[in-house]
Amino acid sequence: MIQISVPATSANMGPGFDCMGIALNIYNTFTIQEIQEGLNISGCPLELCNEKNLIYQSMLQCFQVIGYPPKGYNIHIESKIPLSRGLGSSATCIIGGVLAANEIAGNPLSKEELLCIANKIEGHPDNIAPALFGGIVLSLYEEDKVYYNKLCLPKELKFCALIPDFSLSTQQAREVLPKKISYEDAIFNISHASLLISALLNGNYDLLKHACQDRLHQPYRGELIPHYHEIIEKCKDLDILCTFLSGAGPTIMTILKQENQNFVPSIKKYLNTLSHHWNVIELQMDLKGAQVKSIESLKKHPIK
């Protein structure tokens, strides 16, 4: 029996559309046991407790690559990451599934090989890469291979997620995006993404409020979120470093300095005046990524 813990992720990060994501310290945990036959899934809605479950399907795809014959499985899910809120809950299932399959089969695959399998399931690496490796990960998919680079931010930064009580499907969030963009908008995002990365690396945090601007997805997806523009303006008034849509939304992520103690109580008070309920969660960056351990030995098993 094995246990896999996978962190939440916040993808896109303003101008880093589909290529930049960060791992955060909320986790989904999957406990998986191989049995002779059958499939028993618990800890999630009943409609997901079947062979279409994303964890199980990810296990099967990894088994197929390895050449390992699947048997039966008990899968228990302990979910701390809200569903359909732009915090990478589906990515945790994919990473959990491929890691479980690799562990059950004797760890024949490296992290890079597992990343490629997970990317084929997910379709893009911006969530799955930080979920697997931790930290901020820049990634791209080219010629059937994922190329990535991991960054680690200084500890003086913290994150705060504003999570509403309504969901936003990835399909809906994709449908509102334009089919074509202008040359001007392309340059805008390239320049802002470059500035964002350099500002984070060099500690020039005053630049973040400029660097996190975007023209590819946030202006369109923001229209799907009630009070989006008002919330963004209120966050700016409370001395945060920057805000951005987490993944496809509707969660709004903020970056602020550790010493900013006024933001949380102030934004909670403001959000309570709105028509929807919002949870405010303070977060730190997760640096380790997904972790695998044997429940019997309680020893962590390294992945190549």
Task: Tell me what pLDDT residue 298 has.
Answer: 45
- Tally of domains within the chain: 2
CB atoms within 10 A of CB 16: 25
Q: What is the mean pLDDT of residues 54-78?
A: 97
Write the burial class of residue 69 (CB in 10 Å: 0-12 exposed, 13-18 middle, 19+ buried): exposed
Are both 146 and 167 inside the same structural domain? no
Q: What sign results for the dihedral spanned by CA atoms 248, 234, 205, 131?
A: negative
Q: What is the mean pLDDT of residues 28-53?
A: 93
Structure tokens at 34: 């191989």
Task: Tell me what pLDDT residue 295 has.
Answer: 77
Are both 67 and 138 inside the same structural domain? yes
Are both 145 and 162 inside the same structural domain? no
Three-state SS at 255: strand
- Domain assignment present for residue 300? The answer is no
Q: Is the pLDDT of residue 301 over 70?
A: no
Q: How far is CA 47 from CA 31, 168, 171, in A?
A: 19, 19, 19
Three-state SS at 297: coil
Are both 194 and 259 inside the same structural domain? yes
Q: 182 in the Ramachandran plot: left (φ > 0), alpha (ψ -120 to 50) or beta?
A: beta
Annotated binding residues, as ranges? Answer: 82-92
Are both 8 and 142 inside the same structural domain? yes
Mean pLDDT of the chain: 93
Annotated binding residues for ATP, as ranges? Answer: 82-92
Write the burial class of residue 234 (CB in 10 Å: 0-12 exposed, 13-18 middle, 19+ buried): middle
Q: Is the pLDDT of residue 99 over 50?
A: yes
Are both 213 and 237 inside the same structural domain? yes
* CATH number of the domain where residue 11 is located: 3.30.230.10
Are both 25 and 93 inside the same structural domain? yes
- Domain assignment present for residue 214? The answer is yes
Are both 119 and 239 inside the same structural domain? no
Q: Is the pLDDT of residue 130 over 80?
A: yes
Q: Identify the weakest region by mean pLDDT among 41-50, 128-137, 157-166.
A: 41-50
Are both 216 and 134 inside the same structural domain? no
Report yes or no: 163 and 153 within 8 Å, Cβ to Cβ: no
- Domain assignment present for residue 102? The answer is yes
Taking the C-alpha atoms of residue 187 and residue 184, their distance in angstroms, rounded to an integer, is 5
User: What range does the domain containing 9 cover?
Assistant: 2-151+286-294
DSSP 235: H
- Domain assignment present for residue 82? The answer is yes
pLDDT tens digits, 192-209: 999 999 999 998 999 999
Q: What is the mean pLDDT of residues 116-136?
A: 95
Task: Tell me what pLDDT residue 168 has.
Answer: 84
Are both 126 and 214 inside the same structural domain? no
Higher pLDDT, 45 or 256: 256
- Domain assignment present for residue 304? The answer is no
pLDDT tens digits, 156-171: 889 999 999 998 877 8
Report yes or no: 152 and 136 within 8 Å, Cβ to Cβ: yes
Are both 126 and 215 inside the same structural domain? no
* CATH number of the domain where residue 259 is located: 3.30.70.890
Q: Is the pLDDT of residue 76 over 80?
A: yes
- Domain assignment present for residue 43? The answer is yes
- Domain assignment present for residue 302? The answer is no
Taking the C-alpha atoms of residue 13 and residue 33, their distance in angstroms, rounded to an integer, is 36
- Domain assignment present for residue 193? The answer is yes
Max CA-CA distance within the chain? 59
Q: Give the helix ranges, DSSP H, for 84-242.
A: 89-104, 111-122, 128-133, 170-175, 183-202, 208-211, 218-221, 228-237
Are both 60 and 163 inside the same structural domain? no
